[in-house]
Structure 1
Amino acid sequence: MNEERYPSLYAPKDGYVFVVTYGRSGSTLTQSLLNSIPGYCIRGENGNLLYHFSRAAAVVSNWDNFTWRQDEILKPIDQRRKEIADTFATPKDPWYGAENVNTDEFSRAMMDLFVREVLHIPEQTRVAGFKEIRFHEDRNFFHSYLETIKKYFPNSRFIFQTRDYSSVSQSGWWKSRNKSDVKAMVEAADQLYKNFSENNPSICYTIEYERYSEGTKYTRELFDFLRESPDMDKVSEILREKLIHCPPEHYT
């Protein structure tokens, strides 16, 4: 049923992979490695658009002006709240129509739209997803954000990428920032990643950027987590191009 109603969302038969990190962590390298796997389409950043979709899903799921009305409309008229009996579900109700919102259908339709119009995944894609450096910017919503993704994107897995803060602080735009601010950002984000991973160990994997220097031996751990067997010659080529010929500060 869901596959028919939300064809774009359910098109990747093996699910989704999301790369969660911060700027200048070297995540474009991870993006390239993932896209070397046959059938994978892992897009780059999109300005954290999915955050806003997830916020909208949270509103209809949690705001009581939606939730209690959705429960109330299912009750026989004589069992509804007496204080709103004369106005509920009528033009006199200030939330007229909110009782008709179906939380799951609304949320799945948004995610289907996101996949169709933002990810634009090619046909024959087995695993889709994207990498984003802004997941952590709303720390209070971080856990709910990823839980929303987990709920509505079939077979979701999360790859967290970390990097030593001293290297981050010397890369790209961070060079102009106070090093202590960069350290605080990295440590806070890493803690968010750790907390979510501990609560969801089977669907989470953490990459330490520095360990890419170990070569294909380290990348095999990532591919084992994903249960994939890419062409390791291609993997070696990507590692050589990104880690030797081009300095990591050129990659987010």
Structure 2
Amino acid sequence: MADPVTLAQRARSVQRVGRRLLARRARRHEVEKFIFVVGYGRSGSTLVQAILGTMDGCHIAGENLGAVFALAQAHARLADVAARYGLGPAPPEHPWFGAFEIDPDSIGRRLAALIVDEVMRPPRGTRIAGFKEIRWLDERQDLATSLDFLKRYLAPARFVLNVRDPEAVVRSAWWRDHPRDAALAKIAGWNAALEAVAAADPQHCYLLRYEDFTQGPDRLAPLFAFLDESFDRTAIDRVLGCRLTHAGVPS
């Protein structure tokens, strides 16, 4: 049996964990909207992240190696299991025993809470939370599944789809080791995919071209109108005037 001191230490540890969980939950409920930056390597997504950070109470987290997309895909698979094999109770010897108990909506809400609390981790006072990622279009990902999950469980959600001229992208050091023609074709395909997404869902998606907004702050006014946020020209001008460093991390 544990001694009284050990029991007291365990109790205090449990209390600390409980307080942290409650604090995170409180911060989650302070968030009014979510914004996600959709880009690819050297599309300008880090600059877009910084521009969005000029909004009052905005916390746009950095990349997560596509971990959020894996959670969205896991949710989609479980929803498929429930739809196909969870139509009614099954005996213990059935290969899909337990599928009837799967609740996709409950799983989606809990995964969304996990994403906010443990991936975005918005500080107290955050009105707008989100993240930027460059792996939305990787072959291993399903863009539509990820967008649908975030729109449903982190609403209201808005997506800034960041594209750039393929010729400018392939000139960056990050693309140096890729065969030029293959890289140009891949980036052009990604641009076309994001343009199609924006055209199909203008309520949630805004197409932002690097060549446009780097011409000056005023080119970003329509983006802020789309997001229904104040446009701070001075703050954005400062961001555009700063040279960004990536510390060896692709973005």
TM-score (norm 1): 0.83
Q: Aligned in 2, Cα 1:204/1:12: closer, same or farther, shift over 3 Å?
A: farther
Structure 2 counterparts to residues 1-252 of structure 1, below 5 A: 7=25, 11-63=29-81, 66-73=82-89, 88=90, 90-138=91-139, 141-242=142-243, 252=251
Post-superposition offset of 1:69:
4.0
**Residue deviations 1:142-185 (CA, integer Å, cap 9, x gap):** 22221121111110111000111111101122012111111122
- Counterpart secondary structure, 2:97: coil
Post-superposition offset of 1:9:
9.1
Instruction: Kindly indicate whether the alpha-carbon contact (under 8 Å) linking 2:31 and 2:129 is maintained by their aligned counterparts in 1.
Output: no
Task: Work out the CA distance in 1 between the residues paired with 2:169 and 2:183.
Answer: 8
Post-superposition offset of 1:68:
3.8
**Residue deviations 1:110-144 (CA, integer Å, cap 9, x gap):** 12111111111111111100110000113772222
**Residue deviations 1:78-108 (CA, integer Å, cap 9, x gap):** xxxxxxxxxx1x3212222221110100111
5+ residue gaps in structure 2?
Answer: 1-21
Post-superposition offset of 1:232:
2.0
What's the % identity of the aligned pairs?
A: 30
Instruction: Kindly indicate whether the alpha-carbon contact (under 8 Å) linking 2:224 and 2:230 is maintained by their aligned counterparts in 1.
Output: yes
- Counterpart secondary structure, 2:241: helix
Task: Work out the CA distance in 1 between the residues paired with 2:204 and 2:77.
Answer: 26
Task: Work out the CA distance in 1 between the residues paired with 2:26 and 2:115.
Answer: 9
**Aligned residue identity for 2:87:** D
**Aligned residue identity for 1:58:** A
Q: Aligned in 2, Cα 1:68/1:213: closer, same or farther, shift over 3 Å?
A: closer
Instruction: Kindly indicate whether the alpha-carbon contact (under 8 Å) linking 2:30 and 2:126 is maintained by their aligned counterparts in 1.
Output: yes
Q: Aligned in 2, Cα 1:106/1:203: closer, same or farther, shift over 3 Å?
A: same
**Residue deviations 1:20-67 (CA, integer Å, cap 9, x gap):** 01101111111001011111100111101111101111101123xx32
- Counterpart secondary structure, 1:242: coil
- Counterpart secondary structure, 1:11: helix
Post-superposition offset of 1:10:
5.0
Report the RMSD for the aligned CA atoms in angstroms: 2.5
- Counterpart secondary structure, 1:72: coil
Instruction: Kindly indicate whether the alpha-carbon contact (under 8 Å) linking 1:26 and 1:251 is maintained by their aligned counterparts in 2.
Output: no
- Counterpart secondary structure, 2:87: helix
Deviates more, 1:234-243 or 1:154-163: 234-243
**Aligned residue identity for 2:70:** H
**Aligned residue identity for 2:83:** T
Instruction: Kindly indicate whether the alpha-carbon contact (under 8 Å) linking 2:28 and 2:116 is maintained by their aligned counterparts in 1.
Output: no
The answer for the alignment partner of 2:11 in structure 1 is none
Task: Work out the CA distance in 2 between the residues paired with 1:38 and 1:109.
Answer: 27
Q: Aligned in 2, Cα 1:189/1:195: closer, same or farther, shift over 3 Å?
A: same
Instruction: Kindly indicate whether the alpha-carbon contact (under 8 Å) linking 2:61 and 2:120 is maintained by their aligned counterparts in 1.
Output: yes
Instruction: Kindly indicate whether the alpha-carbon contact (under 8 Å) linking 1:27 and 1:251 is maintained by their aligned counterparts in 2.
Output: no
Post-superposition offset of 1:216:
1.3
